[in-house]
């Protein structure tokens, strides 16, 4: 489960911009206050990257530096985008767009399609596999179920890497991909698939990005309109960006550098989809002026878990390993990871289920336990073992929470109660939100005590109980919340697929576990042939398997159980051996691969210069703070004076009068009102600051670059007690 599902789900909104920064560590604070790009945040697992970037956006908005409607935060899953929107709302930064790449692109495509192409946007196909099968039939090719899945994945890879059908054989060979069929055959299948889509006037998921890119490239007027709307970008999980997504991001940005990216090359585990950490690792090369902040303080895991995670990466090779981060646990010590060898896979599953039963009986919530494995096919053995042990569980990546029939019915009942509750006898004795929700859900079969055993009845009860718990969390944060507020919260969560906690052990693949965390994690099947998987043969593929195990290890907060089986079935030949990745890390073994050096420490690296030497750089606004008390300033007048209105002034009265006389002469000469030269507030700010250089003067709000060029020499001369030369505005 994520940290957002704890009882602190609805914290109080900070009462000021400065309050947004409270509780951040020094590196997170650097991220939050670095409001002008380019900024690159290298964030290790558990270091609070989402906290840092959401506080960065919120601080910029609350300090008046960023306009909410001009900020676009981009991530990779609807759940992550929904969580980001929720956190921003809790921080008082409403109005910021937080979307996935596809969601943002689709919104733009739907809006601009009539103008750019004409007519309505073509229908988006839900499942491309059926179209791929039909395309194969037109080519006279028969694909079994596995081949259909693999060929569909190859087509998706082609599209996100911007590879056309004719180029597939060469591109696949260059990327080291093992094609599921002859590359030339896949090339023909890909072309037939594109023809079939064109004939039926439909588009697929990847086309949303491709068509948005095409429109922004071909229509300068539309690109300009998008860039006028979005002026500040934040990209989470930047190590997972594909070439196509990077191209779209480049078009959104144009020639600007107002960009903050966040990622960790050591968590790159989706290269099969076209994701590459190169964009993250090359960020400083493409943006020499970038500020780089490294987050290494791990708030999630105990020192024992962190030690294992660091040890895994210490044996890694390759470019991502050269840029790894050395995590430093901020938690109290916990138990050492446990390593267990079993005779076969059923015995391994039964052993895990037995330990999980003991943990639950000892008071560990089932929702705080997860079993993670390399492939989804491993799930069935654990489902059976947990059911036999009477342990409730949920499958991550199975049916989505808000799509479950009982949740749909519960939502309808809650909406009806919110609208017509005054006439509902069920609610007569319910005087607060939790009791109202319990009363409504009792009509849907919910009971205070869980049903006996496991299975579908228990799963339905767990789902409804998650709604009851969510109502309690909302009430704790907002005592006056009613059923209407609760229904609104459910609708927002459903749109973001941000499900509340279900009280069951989570079963998930390592890929599906990315971004989640639990108190106790069981890593199952950590054996050669499974992790690394059999078909991982190249150095790059092996290193990605190592990173996958690293992701699994760093999901654990307190306890970590690592296991493997010597054979697949009872009575089978015990030919398996533990994963090579554990060598030198589990007791009694030695490392087989030398370390590549120590990982990077936390800290901040400032940029060395602009990305393009010839490009002029604007004087950028930074968060304004009172010179006297240090508070962040949000009032425009206070920001000009660089102090709170009620803080004492140290203005030089004589200098202020000389500046007023000079301003009157300038205004008379140019035939414009005095305030068009400088406002009274700006002159007061100058008289208080008494700038000695153009750089000092440029930092005073109201002294823009044009006025700095035209009036700067005169103002500096007056501040130095000299006579101005009487120059005019240098426009």
- Number of Cβ within 10 Å of residue 552's Cβ equals 30
| Alpha-carbon gap, residue 403 to 188, rounded angstroms | 37
- Number of Cβ within 10 Å of residue 364's Cβ equals 17
- Number of Cβ within 10 Å of residue 425's Cβ equals 7
| Alpha-carbon gap, residue 64 to 61, rounded angstroms | 5
Give Cα separations from 619 to 260, 675, 701 (angstroms): 18, 22, 11
Structure tokens at 410: 């519960």
Pairing verdict, β 393-395 and 338-344:
unpaired
Burial class (CB in 10 A: 0-12, 13-18, 19+), 269: buried
- In this structure, are residues 349 and 382 in contact, taking their beta carbons and an 8 Å threshold? yes
Furthest C-alpha separation in the chain: 101
Structure tokens at 100: 């996935």
Please, which contacts does 245-249 make with residues 24 or more away whose CB atoms are closer than 8 Å?
Answer: 245/101, 245/160, 245/209, 246/279, 247/162, 247/213, 248/101, 248/105, 248/209, 248/212, 248/213, 248/216, 249/74
Residue partners of 716: CB distance under 8 A and separation at least 6: 691, 692, 693, 694, 697
| Alpha-carbon gap, residue 302 to 310, rounded angstroms | 12
Structure tokens at 642: 């660089």
Helix (H), strand (E), coil (C) string for 648-660: CCCCCHHHHHHHH
Is 625 strand, coil or helix? strand
| Alpha-carbon gap, residue 520 to 80, rounded angstroms | 22
Structure tokens at 621: 């606004």
137 φ, ψ to 5°?
-65, -40
Q: Does residue 532 have a cis bond before it (omega within 30 degrees)?
A: yes
Q: For the chain, state the CA radius of gyration.
A: 30
Establish how many alpha carbons lie within 13 A of residue 711's alpha carbon, considering only the half-sphere containing its beta carbon.
Answer: 25
Residue ranges of the binding site: 43-50
Strand ranges inside 166-306, DSSP E: 202-203, 232-235, 259-263, 291-295, 297-298
* Residue of 463, 481, 461 whose CA lies nearest to 471: 481
| Alpha-carbon gap, residue 256 to 243, rounded angstroms | 19
Residue ranges of the binding site for ATP: 43-50
| Alpha-carbon gap, residue 58 to 342, rounded angstroms | 50
């Amino acid at each position: 489960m994520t940290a957002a599902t704890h009882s602190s789900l609805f914290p109080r909104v900070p009462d000021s911009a400065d309050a947004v920064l409270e509780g951040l560590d020094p590196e997170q604070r650097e991220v939050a206050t670095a409001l002008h790009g380019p900024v690159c945040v290298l964030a290790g697992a558990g270091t609070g990257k989402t906290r840092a970037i959401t506080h960065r956006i919120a601080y910029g908005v609350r300090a008046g530096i960023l306009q909410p409607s001009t900020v676009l935060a981009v991530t990779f899953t609807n759940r992550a985008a929904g969580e980001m929107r929720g956190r921003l709302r809790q921080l008082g930064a409403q109005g910021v767009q937080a979307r996935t790449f596809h969601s943002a692109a689709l919104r733009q495509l739907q809006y601009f399609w009539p103008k750019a192409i004409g007519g309505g946007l073509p229908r988006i196909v839900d499942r491309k596999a059926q179209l791929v099968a039909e395309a194969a039939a037109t080519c006279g090719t028969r694909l079994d179920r596995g081949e259909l899945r693999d060929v569909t994945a190859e087509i998706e890879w082609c599209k996100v890497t911007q590879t056309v059908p004719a180029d597939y054989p060469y591109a696949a060979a260059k990327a080291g991909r093992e094609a599921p069929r002859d590359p030339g055959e896949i090339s023909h299948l890909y072309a037939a698939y594109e023809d079939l889509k064109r004939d039926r006037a439909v588009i697929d998921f990847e086309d949303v990005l491709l068509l948005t890119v095409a429109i922004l490239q071909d229509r300068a007027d539309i690109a300009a309109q998008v860039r006028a709307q979005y002026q500040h970008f934040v990209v989470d999980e930047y190590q997972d960006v594909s070439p196509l997504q990077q191209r779209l991001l480049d078009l959104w940005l144009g020639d600007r550098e107002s960009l903050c990216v966040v990622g960790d090359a050591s968590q790159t585990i989706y290269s099969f989809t076209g994701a590459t950490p190169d964009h993250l690792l090359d960020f400083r090369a493409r943006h020499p002026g970038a500020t780089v902040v490294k987050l290494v303080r791990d708030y999630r895991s105990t020192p024992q878990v962190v030690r294992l995670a660091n040890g895994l990466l210490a044996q890694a090779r390759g470019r991502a390993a050269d840029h790894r981060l050395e995590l430093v646990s901020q938690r109290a010590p916990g138990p050492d990871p446990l390593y267990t060898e079993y005779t076969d896979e059923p015995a391994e599953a039964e052993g895990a289920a037995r330990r999980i039963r003991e943990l639950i009986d000892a008071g560990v919530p089932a929702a705080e336990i997860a079993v993670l494995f390399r492939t989804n096919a491993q799930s069935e053995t654990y489902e059976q073992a947990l059911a036999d042990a009477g342990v409730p569980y949920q499958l991550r990546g199975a049916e989505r929470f808000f799509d479950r029939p009982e949740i749909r019915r519960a939502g309808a009942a809650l909406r009806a109660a919110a609208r017509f509750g005054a006439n509902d006898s069920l609610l007569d004795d319910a005087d607060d939100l939790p009791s109202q929700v319990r009363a409504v859900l009792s009509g849907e079969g919910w009971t205070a005590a869980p049903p006996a055993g496991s299975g579908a009845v228990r799963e339905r009860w767990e789902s409804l109980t998650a709604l009851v718990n969510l109502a309690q969390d909302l009430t704790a944060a907002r005592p006056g919340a009613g059923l209407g507020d609760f229904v609104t919260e459910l609708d927002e969560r459903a749109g973001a697929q941000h499900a509340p906690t279900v009280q069951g052990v989570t079963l998930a693949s390592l890929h599906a576990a990315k971004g989640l965390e639990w108190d106790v994690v069981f890593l199952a099947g950590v054996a050669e042939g499974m992790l690394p998987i059999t078909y991982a043969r190249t150095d790059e593929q092996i290193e990605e398997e190592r990173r996958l195990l690293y992701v699994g290890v760093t999901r654990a907060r307190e306890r970590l159980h690592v296991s493997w089986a010597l054979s697949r079935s009872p009575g089978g030949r015990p030919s398996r051996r533990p994963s090579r990745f554990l060598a030198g890390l589990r007791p009694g073994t030695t490392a087989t691969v030398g370390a590549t050096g120590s990982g990077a420490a936390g800290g901040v690296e400032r940029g060395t210069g602009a990305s393009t030497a010839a490009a002029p750089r604007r004087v950028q606004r930074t968060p304004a703070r009172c010179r006297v008390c240090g508070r962040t300033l949000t009032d425009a007048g206070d920001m000009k004076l660089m102090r709170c209105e009620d803080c004492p002034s140290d203005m030089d009265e004589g200098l202020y009068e000389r500046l007023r006389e000079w301003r009157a002469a300038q205004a008379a000469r140019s035939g414009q009102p005095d305030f068009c030269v400088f406002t009274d507030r700006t002159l007061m700010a100058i008289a208080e600051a008494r700038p000695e250089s153009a750089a000092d003067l440029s930092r005073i709000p109201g002294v823009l670059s044009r006025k700095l060029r035209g009036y700067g020499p005169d103002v500096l001369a007056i501040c130095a007690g000299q006579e101005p030369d009487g120059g005019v505005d240098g426009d």
